[in-house]
């Protein structure tokens, strides 16, 4: 096993360990169902938007956007390809009442936490920037196509208004706009506080507080998802047909189809560095997003299926992602 493969395996193991921690805490009664629901809303409606804004502003600037403008579009493509895979398999694996949640879970990879840890370990600051450029498109896809798919009602003006005013979407758009057109804000976020004074110090302090609050998103999301899983009866934890379909689609079919599409685009002349392409393929192969259970709780989805899908797909990713990694490298080397 190479060093890169060990990095991939280790980072997935971190995620799984936190999931188990949340599961144990809920089983011991430290967290209640109501507490977990309130924490879900806190993460989805407040902490995740804060993280999106802070990280987009901190890691992306105008030149990076001009150089990497294609990556947010590729993130949308990754989401759409996976959603098509979910739509193609849902009739085989899911009953009519659960198909919205099935497609949402199959289409939504862990697009930040695991890719960020892996890309940073492999490529340093350039890897971090690449992940957050992908993240800009992934957040737009999540809060439009994703939430629109998950909502249990037909599209109407009220739903469109709700999606358009979603805090996560607004924070993502604002973060990209600030990163592109207000470099002074980014300078405040990265400047040493001891060198600032007056209103600059006040603004930098506020931005630091926002970033610090957003930093709870990843560990709290994982922990609460483990708690949601721990609230289920043991008999419910057994794999069933919808869960098997989500796992096959998320871990095998979606990354395979994404690799094929990206390979065809590269053969057609798409200008994309090997490292950026590899990060995109890794994102496509990630387990179900750690926020999948939280979004199911927030937007009337199938919470038991979502919690189990996060757990089992993360467990499966311990094998599938390290196995896919060298295949992706060989594909891109051709």
What confidence tens digit (pLDDT) does each residue in 134-180 have? 877 887 788 778 877 877 655 556 656 766 677 877 887 788 788 87
Query: What is the percent of the chain with per-residue pLDDT over 90, rounded to a whole number?
Result: 15
**0.85 exceeded by pTM:** no
Overall domain count for the chain:
1
Half-sphere exposure of 36 (CA within 13 A, CB side): 29
* CA distance linking residue 321 with residue 207, whole number of Å: 35
Provide the pLDDT confidence category of residue 92 given band limits of 50, 70 and 90.
very high
What confidence tens digit (pLDDT) does each residue in 262-302 have? 999 988 888 888 888 888 999 999 989 877 777 787 777 88
Q: What value does the mean pLDDT take over residues 98-108?
A: 90
pLDDT value of residue 45? 81
CA dihedral sign, ordered 307, 254, 274, 130: negative
Higher pLDDT, 68 or 158: 68
- Judge whether 135 and 280 are in contact, CB under 8 Å: no
pLDDT above 70 for 130: yes
pLDDT value of residue 160? 62
CB atoms within 10 A of CB 288: 31
Higher pLDDT, 98 or 77: 77
Helices 274-284, 113-123: inter-axial angle, 10-degree rounding: 150
Residues across the chain:
334
pLDDT value of residue 106? 92
Residue in 182, 168, 173 with CA at minimum distance from that of residue 214:
168
pLDDT value of residue 162? 63
Give the structural domain span for 223: 3-333
pLDDT above 90 for 219: no
Segment (H or E) for 326: helix 303-333
CB burial readout 52-76, b (16+ within 10 A) else e:
bbbbbbbbbbeebbeebebbbebbb
pLDDT value of residue 146? 82
Q: At 109, is the secondary structure helix, strand, or coil?
A: strand
CA dihedral sign, ordered 77, 81, 82, 84: positive
Residue located via tokens 């002349």? 269
Q: What value does the mean pLDDT take over residues 101-117?
A: 83
pLDDT value of residue 170? 82
Q: What's the CATH number where 223 sits?
A: 1.20.1530.20
pLDDT above 70 for 4: no
pLDDT value of residue 253? 96
Provide the pLDDT confidence category of residue 246 given band limits of 50, 70 and 90.
very high
* CA distance linking residue 266 with residue 263, whole number of Å: 5
Q: Calculate the dihedral angle through the C-alpha atoms of 201, 203, 207, 213, rounding to the nearest 10 degrees.
A: 90
Q: What value does the mean pLDDT take over residues 63-78?
A: 81
- Enter the tokens of residue 232: 């289920």
């Amino acid at each position: 096993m190479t060093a890169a493969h060990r990095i991939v395996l280790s980072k997935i193991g971190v995620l799984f360990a936190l999931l188990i921690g949340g599961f144990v805490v809920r089983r011991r009664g430290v967290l209640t169902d109501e507490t977990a629901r309130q924490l879900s809303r806190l993460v989805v409606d407040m902490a995740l938007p804060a993280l999106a804004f802070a990280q987009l502003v901190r890691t992306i600037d105008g030149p990076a956007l001009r150089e990497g403008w294609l990556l947010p579009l590729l993130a949308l493509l990754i989401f759409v390809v996976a959603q098509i895979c979910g739509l193609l398999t849902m009739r085989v694996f899911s009953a009519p009442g659960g198909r919205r949640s099935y497609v949402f879970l199959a289409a939504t990879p862990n697009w930040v936490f695991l890719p960020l840890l892996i890309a940073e370990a492999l490529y340093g600051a350039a890897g971090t920037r690449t992940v957050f450029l992908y993240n800009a498109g992934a957040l737009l896809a999540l809060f439009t196509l994703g939430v629109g798919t998950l909502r249990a009602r037909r599209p109407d003006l009220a739903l469109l208004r709700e999606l358009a005013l979603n805090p996560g979407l607004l924070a993502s758009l604002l973060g990209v706009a600030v990163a592109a057109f207000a470099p002074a804000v980014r300078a405040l976020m990265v400047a040493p506080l001891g060198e600032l004074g007056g209103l600059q110090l006040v603004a930098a302090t506020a931005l630091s507080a926002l970033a610090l609050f957003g930093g709870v998103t990843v560990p709290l999301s994982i922990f609460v998802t483990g708690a949601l899983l721990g609230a289920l009866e043991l008999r419910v934890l057994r794999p069933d047909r919808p869960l098997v379909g989500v796992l096959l689609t998320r871990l095998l079919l979606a990354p395979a189809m994404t690799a094929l599409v990206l390979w065809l685009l590269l053969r057609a002349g798409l200008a994309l560095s090997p490292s950026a392409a590899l990060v995109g393929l890794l994102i496509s192969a990630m387990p179900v997003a750690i926020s999948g259970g939280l979004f199911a709780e927030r937007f009337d989805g199938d919470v038991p299926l979502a919690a189990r899908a996060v757990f089992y797909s993360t467990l499966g990713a311990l094998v599938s992602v390290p196995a896919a990694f060298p295949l992706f490298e060989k594909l891109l080397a051709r």
